[in-house]
Amino acid sequence: MLKKNDILKGVVSALGSNGEGIIKHGDYTVFVPYVLPEEEIEYKVLKVAKNCVYGKVLNVITPSKDRVDAPCSVFCKCGGCQLQHLEYEKQLKVKEENVKRCFSKIAGIDVEINKNVTGESPFRYRNKLQLPVSFNGKETVIGFYAENSHRVVPICDCLINSSWTAKLISAITLYVKEFNLKGYSDFDGSGYIREVTAKELNGSLIICLVLTTKKLVGKDRLIEILTEKLGLEFTLYINVNSKPTNVVYGEEFLLVHGKPEYTGEMFGIKYKMGVRSFMQVNPSVCKKLYGAVCDNASLSEDVTVIDAYSGAGLMTALLASKAKKAIGIEIIPEAVEIANQLALDNGLSNKITNYQGKCEVIMPDIIAKERQQNTNVTVVLDPPRKGCDYAVIKAVKGSLADKVIYVSCNPSTLARDVGLLTGALKYDGNEIVRVKDYTPLYEIDSVTPYDMFAQTKHVETLVVLSRVLNR
């Protein structure tokens, strides 16, 4: 029997889907983060659950030939990256294998996985940042939460984020010191400053300080410090959030300095970045991904595209510009407003209809209406991590859509949903089960991972499906 604090040795057999090493110890499966396959390690048992055990590496006895020195000083402490210690080419492979394993294990589908598509750089790629600010009993600290905790690990830089990160942290640290400002405490709700968020578009930043009150202390000096330290065009907002909640922003945003929003452009479509807008975190990979969605959607002047989970509508507009029309469906009202404005700004209002609501509720009717009109339909699905509700899958299966493009940030729910679309899986009212001999309703044309989140365990995947004719 294993117990907490046992110190053991073992050889890592593989990496799990969270990037952690897997070690077999008798009947137990042990998960140990920050180690690599084939490494012999010494580890300490932290927690024993039913058949699985969580451990912490104490010593790498035999390092893997794929191990590299992680360049970040808080790797293993901050919880943001899981794979910095693995050579980058191998990281790409690990993610390809993870996607393949999910298809095989979850849906029983043996599928070829294309090469993982990379961005301009595996470091300094992120264009947005969210830094909690807290009081640790002695001083105010700015950083990231340690994994699975609300303890802030102080940082001076983040190597996967753009190079303005260190300058921004240094500016806020100076401001906090000069005015003796206290970071927020989750424990009793005390403190003044809760979060610093920032996002960048083409070298301009939108910074937001989340405060517990409306009064911005030392406003002019803060703007002076940011101007000196950043050397970039920037906008400053404050947001007021005094509620004991994990939600970052409160309702109220106040513009303090700079332009309210900035304009970008992708494949001829103009879009705006405001303080509330959603942005993909890796612009160079995002451009390749959106380009591939459009290239694979069989777009022409007689195709209607249904863009489910459409967010702020950039992809909807890209699709609409090459199709007869596009229909966006999105749950968040503010995102739908932004999407409508984006359609208007690009002269595409006559080709785009954005619906606000839950895909599982409104998509079946939207699809039924399109079917009545006998139009050729392409469906694009880009759901959150939990994947599509079964009502959405059912609606797509009944849609007669020639093409289905599925963009996913979670290979497990992707495999489940693609299994349901092809017919390899079925939902029998209670649970999802494998189907032995099935004639596919949709065929998988391609499965391509996109390394949107280099150095982390996460991967974005694009699946292109074609309807099998005559069914």
Ligand X SMILES: C[S@@+](CC[C@H](N)C(=O)[O-])C[C@H]1O[C@@H](n2cnc3c(N)ncnc32)[C@H](O)[C@@H]1O
| Sole binder of ligand X in the list 43, 103, 135, 309 (CB under 6 A) | 309
Told to check if 123 binds ligand X by CB under 6 A, we report no
The verdict on whether 208 is a catalytic residue reads no
**Distance between CA atoms of 274 and 208, rounded to whole angstroms?**
11
Does the footprint of ligand X cover residue 201 (CB under 6 A)? no
In the bound state with ligand X, the residue whose beta carbon lies nearer, of 75 and 290, is 290
Scan residues 266-285 and list those touching ligand X (CB under 6 A). Answer: 278
Site size for ligand X, by CB under 6 A? 17
* Residue 7 burial (CB count, 10 A): 11
Both tokens assigned to 30:
């042990």
Which of 93, 257, 272, 358 binds ligand X (CB under 6 A)? It is 358
How buried is 48 (Cβ within 10 angstroms: 0-12 exposed, 13-18 middle, 19+ buried)? middle
Of 78, 102, 294, 409, the active-site residue reads 409
- Shortest distance (Å) from residue 272 CB to ligand X: 13
Near ligand X by CB under 6 A: residue from 203, 291, 384, 398: 384
Site for ligand X (CB under 6 A): which residue of 310, 346, 354, 376? 310
> What is the rounded distance in angstroms from the CA atom of residue 133 to the CA atom of residue 126?
20
Q: Is 330 in the site for ligand X (CB under 6 A)?
A: yes
CB-wise, 315 or 462, nearer to ligand X? 315
Do 143 and 153 meet the contact criterion of CB atoms below 8 Å apart? yes
**Backbone phi, psi, residue 111, to 5°:** -130, 145
**Which of 21, 383 has the CB closer to ligand X?**
383
Residue 315 interacts with ligand X (CB under 6 A): yes or no: yes
Which of 68/391 has CB closer to ligand X? 391
Lookup result for tokens 């700079």: 258
**Residue 307 CB, nearest approach to ligand X (Å):** 7
E strands along 6-51, which residues?
A: 7-11, 14-15, 21-25, 28-32, 40-48
Q: For ligand X, which residue of 129, 294, 359, 396 counts as binding (CB under 6 A)?
A: 359
Shortest CB 362 distance to ligand X, Å: 8
Element (H, E) at 211: strand 204-211
Q: Does 311 bind ligand X (CB under 6 A)?
A: yes
Residue 311 to residues 96, 130, 315, 316, Cα–Cα distance (Å): 27, 20, 9, 9
- 332 is an interface residue for ligand X by CB under 6 A: yes
> 113, 158, 198, 329: which one contacts ligand X (CB under 6 A)?
329
- If we measure between CA atoms, which residue out of 59, 86, 61 comes closest to residue 71? 86
Residue 417 binds ligand X (CB under 6 A): no
For position 294 contacting ligand X by CB under 6 A, the verdict is no
- Scored b (16 or more CB within 10 A) or e, 316-340 reads bbbbbbbbebbbbbbbeeebbebbb
248 touches ligand X by CB under 6 A: no
Helix (H) or strand (E) holding 344: helix 333-345
- Shortest distance (Å) from residue 304 CB to ligand X: 17
**Does the protein bind ligand X through residue 331 (CB under 6 A)?**
yes
Which span sits near ligand X by CB under 6 A: 42-50, 188-196, 326-334, 398-406?
Answer: 326-334
Examine residue 256 and tell whether it contacts ligand X (CB under 6 A). no
Rounded to whole angstroms, the Cα distance separating 69 from 57 reads 16
Q: Examine residue 127 and tell whether it contacts ligand X (CB under 6 A).
A: no
Cβ distance 411 to 339 under 8 Å?
no
The SS3 of residue 102 is helix
What does the binding site for ligand X look like in residue numbers (CB under 6 A)? Answer: 278, 309-312, 315, 329-332, 335, 358-360, 382-384
Task: Name the residues annotated as catalytic.
Answer: 409
